[in-house]
Amino acid sequence: MKIVLVLLAIVAIAFTSCKKDVINIKEKIIGKWMIAEINERAVTTNDKMVYTFVSATKAYMSASFTNNPNASSVWSDQKEVDVVISGNKMTVTFHPDENMTTVDELNITAINSSEFKANYKVTVTEGSNVAYSRQGTVRFTKLNVDYRDAILGKWECTELTGIETFNDANARLEFYGDGNYKYWRKNSANEWVAVTNREFQNYFVDGKLLATRWKNVGEAEQREWWEVTSIKDNQMVWTALRQNENGTTTRQGMKWKKVE
């Protein structure tokens, strides 16, 4: 009888340990999360994405991806995704278009009020073909701000630091609530003139992530990505982590003042 009791105690302890190892993901995952690291390396701004979990089965994803030569580009402004959570595993399925499916499998190893870490595998299929697959470790940080509404209006650049990309210090941008924006440049007469040779100019903001895309007549589509650091007292600050051709990274920043 003593042996039986000892065995039952061991089983009870083992069962309790297993229960403690299961993270309460369904409650803790609610909120807005932006990817920060892959395989313990900082994610460049153009590779960032934001998940907004409104329940354990429903979420929205924002991302602008163009740098994968094996898959079509993605422009997702809070598009709905399917979520399945079982134990510590979370599977997120997203359909960027009717031909593409992206499946993120996340085995969450730790989660708190500010971040979560996971072992992940992402698989992108186009039709019946696997276009892209990758796995490793990932870290997301929780976003407690959303600048979607605060960015609306006209802004004038006051400072550019770091490398120069498409945007330079000679710029005014006006963001509208329908996902479109307008771009001005100052001419030789020191007058602000709207750029009119573009077929479209789109943007979205989700949390801190700002993505823009535009197309000049007769040219290829272009995109740029930023992280909004702050918007306060009619001042706005952007930052971005860029990757150089040699694989190193550099930080870029812009400051803006609201003019209308």
Q: Taking 90 as the threshold, does the pLDDT of residue 22 lie above it?
A: no
What is the per-residue pLDDT for 11? 43
Question: What value does the mean pLDDT take over residues 57-71?
Answer: 87
pTM, entire model:
0.88
Contacts 24+ apart (CB under 8 A), 122-127: 124/68, 124/70, 124/71, 124/100, 125/100, 125/101, 126/71, 126/72, 126/99, 126/100, 127/99
- pLDDT tens-digit map of 115-137: 999 999 999 999 889 998 999 99
- pLDDT tens-digit map of 85-108: 999 999 999 998 888 999 999 999
- pLDDT tens-digit map of 184-205: 999 999 999 999 999 999 999 9
Q: Where residue 8 falls among pLDDT bands split at 50, 70, 90? A: very low
What domains appear along the chain, each with residue ranges and CATH number?
25-143 (2.40.128), 153-258 (2.40.128.280)
- pLDDT tens-digit map of 207-220: 999 999 999 999 99
Q: Where residue 158 falls among pLDDT bands split at 50, 70, 90? A: very high
